[in-house]
Amino acid sequence: MFDMERLFADAEQGILPALKILGDLYLNGYEENDIQPDLNRALEYYEKAAEGGMEDAFLELGYIYCAGKHMQPDYAKGINYYKQAAEMGNTTAMGNLGMAYMNGYGVEENKTKGFEYFLKAAEGGHPNAMHQVAILYRDGVGVAPDSEKAVYWEEQAKIQEAKDKEEENAEKPALQRAFEQNLKFISKDTLDVELVQYIFGNTEDLQQYTMGECTFSSGRVLTADPLYYLKNPKEVLVKAKRIRPGTYPVQLSIMNSQLAGMRIVGARLKLNNNEAVAYELAHGEKEDNKITFAGFPVECGLACFCDEQAAQSYWRFLDGWYKEHKGGNIYDDYFAALFAESFKKNPSVQREAGDILMWNNPLDGSMIAMFASGMGDGYYTDYWGVDASGEQCELVIIFMDPKLF
């Protein structure tokens, strides 16, 4: 939320950044300050900032008049603003002028002039313009064909993009960079055998912990956020593949890094002692028996393994609990104490509030293995580990790539 009183006061004094910010706010609206879009006011502030010589204001005005997003295009006005920004050294404006002259937008088509603007932008370090210059040299548009220069500018574009990305990443805190890279990691639909072996292997970086054995009475397995999605029968899908009814150990891989602190990297339900030689997506199954997506969303920072019958018993427990505790919060008023007790019993493998709970349902003793989901909320994929004979030997969820943290 912006301090509008201060912004208006600064704008009255002609302070350029304040004028530009007000232009931005009125151009698109800003809900947090209850500002509705107002194109005329936006233009007023941008024009005042441009009169003061603000390069970004000229660029924004060029975009508004040429793009046609906020008003009918007025190319002549827009091109004029782009030219003023370009004269001040703005490479984006140069590239936009290159595009205008190449296609005759608001000016008479002139491919030579278009090439010249693209070249100026490229020489100023604009990677998209570098790509355009490479294409124009390759195809001989607006300039004589030159394959060597085409290759040169394409290489320069790649170098500049890598440099820009490096600078962008350098400005971010290390944990944020790791978190963003981890989001890409968990979105993959394949799982490398060697990575799983590393995560659940004996290494100095990771601690292996068996949180206990969980009973699967029907052999129909669910993975879900136990405090959000598992509460609603319509929000969870039973795995399409079943396991033999029985009791199986739940193993956790735990990392304690300086960057992220103590986190559960992965969890697996170990069905036998066989070694997985491949991993396949653990698709869910709907009532009509059509196989659906694999994985599950997390909204409360927890995941779980449980049997379908345990989930049904859990729903009955919740129904009774909420009737007794109207307006209550199932985590704050019930589970928080159980997780805290778990921490007291095993403080070396979890954070102080508790990350691990093998929950026994007071109604019938059915079990749900609950554990923190790596860096918290997100969408996590689960996989069946398959042994050399093609049989399922484990169900795995990987929350984090520990090498990133």
Element containing residue 63 per DSSP (H, E): helix 55-67
* Residues 355-374, mean pLDDT to the nearest whole number: 96
What is the per-residue pLDDT across 56-79, written as a single tens digit (0 to 9) for each?
Answer: 999 999 999 988 778 888 888 999
Q: Is the pLDDT of residue 271 over 90?
A: yes
> How many Å separate Cα 45 from the centre of its chain?
34
Q: Provide the b/e sequence for 269-289 (b: ≥16 CB within 10 Å).
A: bbbeebebeebbbbbbbeeee
Residue for token pair 């992965």:
266
Residue 240: the pLDDT is 87
Residue 203: the pLDDT is 83
Q: How confident is the model at residue 328 (pLDDT cuts 50, 70, 90)?
A: confident
Least confident of 8-12, 21-25, 287-291: 287-291
Q: Is the pLDDT of residue 294 over 80?
A: no
Q: How confident is the model at residue 288 (pLDDT cuts 50, 70, 90)?
A: low
Residue 354: the pLDDT is 94
Q: Name the residue among 193, 235, 222 with its Cα closest to residue 283.
A: 222
Residue 204: the pLDDT is 84
Q: How confident is the model at residue 32 (pLDDT cuts 50, 70, 90)?
A: confident
If 0-12 CB within 10 Å is exposed, 13-18 middle and 19+ buried, where does residue 355 land?
Answer: buried
Residue 188: the pLDDT is 79
Residue 397: the pLDDT is 96
Residue 286: the pLDDT is 62
The answer to whether 222 touches 307, Cβ cutoff 8 Å, is yes
Q: Is the pLDDT of residue 242 over 90?
A: yes
Q: Is the pLDDT of residue 284 over 70?
A: yes
Residue 5: the pLDDT is 84
What is the per-residue pLDDT across 226-235, written as a single tens digit (0 to 9) for each?
Answer: 988 787 777 7
Q: Is the pLDDT of residue 106 over 90?
A: no
What is the per-residue pLDDT across 4-22, written as a single tens digit (0 to 9) for each?
Answer: 888 888 888 888 888 999 9
What is the per-residue pLDDT across 44-53, written as a single tens digit (0 to 9) for each?
Answer: 999 999 999 9
Parse the chain into domains and list their residue ranges. 4-176, 186-404
* Residues 317-337, mean pLDDT to the nearest whole number: 92
> 246 forms bridges with which residues in the sheet?
216
Least confident of 112-116, 149-153, 257-261: 257-261
Residue 70: the pLDDT is 82
**Percent of residues, the chain, with pLDDT higher than 90:** 66
Q: Is the pLDDT of residue 387 over 70?
A: yes
Q: Over the chain, what is the mean pLDDT?
A: 90
Q: Provide the b/e sequence for 213-229 (b: ≥16 CB within 10 Å).
A: ebbbbeebbbbbbbbbb
Cβ-defined contacts of 181-186 (< 8 Å, 24+) = 181/401, 181/404, 182/374, 182/375, 182/400, 182/401, 182/404, 182/405, 183/378, 185/400, 185/401, 185/404, 186/374, 186/378, 186/379, 186/380, 186/381, 186/398, 186/399, 186/400
188 versus 16: the higher-pLDDT residue is: 16
Q: Is the pLDDT of residue 289 over 60?
A: no
Q: How confident is the model at residue 180 (pLDDT cuts 50, 70, 90)?
A: confident
Q: How confident is the model at residue 130 (pLDDT cuts 50, 70, 90)?
A: very high
Q: What is the CATH number of domain 4-176?
A: 1.25.40.10
* Residues 36-45, mean pLDDT to the nearest whole number: 92
Q: How confident is the model at residue 172 (pLDDT cuts 50, 70, 90)?
A: low
The answer to whether 267 touches 251, Cβ cutoff 8 Å, is yes
Whether the CA torsion 369, 375, 376, 380 is positive or negative: it is negative
* Residues 256-270, mean pLDDT to the nearest whole number: 92
Q: Name the residue among 328, 317, 360, 320 with its Cα closest to residue 341.
A: 360
